């Protein structure tokens, strides 16, 4: 299947959407931002992203619920996309909650460009380097 989208971002907060747009806009990756878990689930099916940045607490469907639904779909398809949980509550146990929900990694808010780029490098691999040098 053609992979058109590199990163799907599920984030309901407009300020954080801007932060993601600014940081990801400089990477050369193709990304799309959706405002809640239900839209993330929808976009996952349509856009086939290589990686998902999933805000944990969103209206309509939380990031944890959306992740569970995506993992269920993947089980049927035999695929697995890395999902990084993004959470404002850097409380002890948050990382564990993300991982228990089926997420692969975790990124605390406020979003640090350096931390975000490290996650991209980790989950999207060496072509991050190629793109950075290409532009």
| pLDDT tens-place string over residues 46-78 | 999 999 999 999 988 999 999 999 999 999 999
pLDDT at 21 over 50: yes
Average predicted confidence (pLDDT) for the chain: 89
Instruction: Supply the DSSP symbol for 98.
Output: H
pLDDT at 134 over 80: no
Element (H or E) spanning 53, and its range? Answer: strand 51-55
pLDDT at 98 over 60: yes
Give the residue carrying structure tokens 């779909």: 73
Q: What is the mean pLDDT of residues 32-37?
A: 97
CA–CA dist 84, 101 (Å, integer)? 11
The vertex-33 CA angle with 130 and 78, nearest 5°, equals 70
pLDDT tier at 89 (50, 70, 90 boundaries)?
low
**In terms of Cα–Cα distance, which of 78, 54, 75 is closest to 66?**
54
- Long-range contacts formed by 16-21: CB under 8 A, 24+ apart: 16/55, 16/86, 16/109, 16/111, 19/110, 19/111, 20/53, 20/111, 20/116
Q: Which domains does the chain have, with CATH numbers?
A: 7-126 (3.40.50.2300)
């Amino acid at each position: 299947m053609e992979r058109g989208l590199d990163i799907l971002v599920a984030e309901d907060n407009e300020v954080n959407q801007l932060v993601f747009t600014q940081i990801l806009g400089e990477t050369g990756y193709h990304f799309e931002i959706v405002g809640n878990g239900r839209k993330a689930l929808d976009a996952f099916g349509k856009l086939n992203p290589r990686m998902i940045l999933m805000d944990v607490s969103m209206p309509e469907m939380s990031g944890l619920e959306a992740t569970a639904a995506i993992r269920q779909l993947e089980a049927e398809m035999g695929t697995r996309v890395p999902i990084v949980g993004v959470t404002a509550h850097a409380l002890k146990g948050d990382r564990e909650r993300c991982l228990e929900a089926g997420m692969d990694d975790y990124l605390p808010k406020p979003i640090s460009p350096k931390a975000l780029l490290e996650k991209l490098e980790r989950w999207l691999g060496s072509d991050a380097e190629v793109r950075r040098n290409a532009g």
